[in-house]
Chains A and B, each alone.
Chain A
Amino acid sequence: MKVSLFEQVPYRYLPAGFEDQHSSVVTAPYDVVDPPLMTESLFSAYAELLHAARSGFDGVCVTEHGQSAYDISPNPDLLAAAVAYAARAEGLDVAITVLGRSLGKTREPLKIAEEYALLDCVSGGRLIAGFPLGLSYDANLNAGLPAVETRERYAEHRELILKAWSEPRPFAWNGRFEKYGQVNIWPRPVQQPHPPVWIPGTGSAGTLRDILASDYAFVYLSWDGPKLTGRQVFDRYWDLAEETGRDRNPYRLAFLQVVAVAETDERAEREYAAHLQSHYRSGVGAIPATAMALPGYAEPAAIEGMLRGAGAGGMRSRLKTATFAELVESQVAIVGSPATVADQLEAFVREFRIGNLMVMLQNGSMPRDLTEKNISLFAAEVLPRLRPIWDEEGWVNHWWPRAPGSAGGQA
Chain B
Amino acid sequence: MAEVRGQAVEVWDGRLTLHVKVAGDGPPLLFFHPLPGLAWSPLLDRLAGRYTVYAPEHPGTSPGDPQAIREVQTFWELLLVYEELIGRLGVDRPAAVGQSFGGMVAADLAASFPRLFSRLVLLAPLGLWRDDAPIPLVEMVSGPAGDVPGYLYAHPESAAALAPADPEQVPAAIAQSTWNVGCTTKFAWPIADHGLGRRLHRIRVPALVLWGHEDRLVPVAYAEEFGRRVAGSQVEVIDDCGHALGADQPERAWVAVSEFLAEPQVVGVSREIAAGPERIFELIADPARQPEWDGNDNLGTADTGQRVRQVGDVFTMTLSRGEVRENHVVEFTEGRLLAWRPAEVGKPPPGHLWRWELEPCGATATRVTCTYDWTQLTDPGRFWRARATTADRLRASLDRLASLAEEPAG
A residues within 8 Å of B by Cβ? 26, 137, 140-141, 144-149, 152, 176, 288, 290-291, 294-297, 299-301, 303-304, 307-308
Contacts and interface: CB of A to CB of B under 8 A. Distances in A.
A294 B176 contact: no
A291 B142 CA distance: 6
B149 to A, nearest CB: 15
A186 B136 CA distance: 42
B69 interface: yes
A176 B74 CA distance: 10
A300 B183 CA distance: 11
A288 B147 CA distance: 13
Given A304-B172, A307-B174, A297 B182 contact: yes
A312 to B, nearest CB: 13
Contacts of A152: 70
B90 interface: no
A288 B142 CA distance: 9
B143 A296 contact: no
B179 interface: yes
Contacts of B181: 295-296
A146 B175 contact: no
A297 B66 CA distance: 12
Interface of B: 60, 66, 69-70, 73, 138, 141-145, 170-172, 174-176, 178-183, 185-187, 189-191
Contacts of B183: 148, 296
B182 A294 contact: yes
B175 A307 contact: yes
Contacts, number: 77
Contacts of B141: 294-295
A68 B332 CA distance: 76
B241 to A, nearest CB: 26
22 contacts: A137-B142, A141-B138, A147-B185, A147-B189, A148-B60, A148-B183, A288-B143, A290-B145, A291-B142, A294-B141, A294-B142, A295-B141, A295-B181, A296-B181, A296-B185, A300-B178, A300-B179, A301-B66, A303-B178, A304-B172, A307-B171, A307-B175
B182 A295 contact: yes
Contacts of A307: 170-171, 174-175
Contacts of B66: 299-301
Given A152-B70, A301-B175, A144 B182 contact: no
Chain B binding surface, main DSSP class: helix
B169 to A, nearest CB: 11
Contacts of A297: 182
A148 to B, nearest CB: 5
B141 to A, nearest CB: 6
Contacts of B138: 141
A240 to B, nearest CB: 22
Nearest to B168: A308
A220 to B, nearest CB: 25
B177 to A, nearest CB: 8
Contacts of A137: 142
Given A176-B73, A304-B171, A304-B172, A296 B190 contact: no
B74 to A, nearest CB: 10
A317 B177 CA distance: 21
A301 B191 CA distance: 27
Contacts of A299: 66, 179
Contacts of A303: 171, 174-175, 178-179
Nearest to A288: B144
Contacts of A145: 189
Contacts of A141: 138, 142, 190
B77 to A, nearest CB: 12
A17 B371 CA distance: 75
Given A299-B179, A308-B171, 19 more contacts: A26-B142, A140-B142, A140-B189, A141-B138, A144-B189, A146-B182, A146-B186, A146-B189, A147-B182, A147-B189, A176-B73, A290-B142, A295-B179, A296-B181, A296-B182, A299-B66, A304-B171, A307-B171, A307-B175
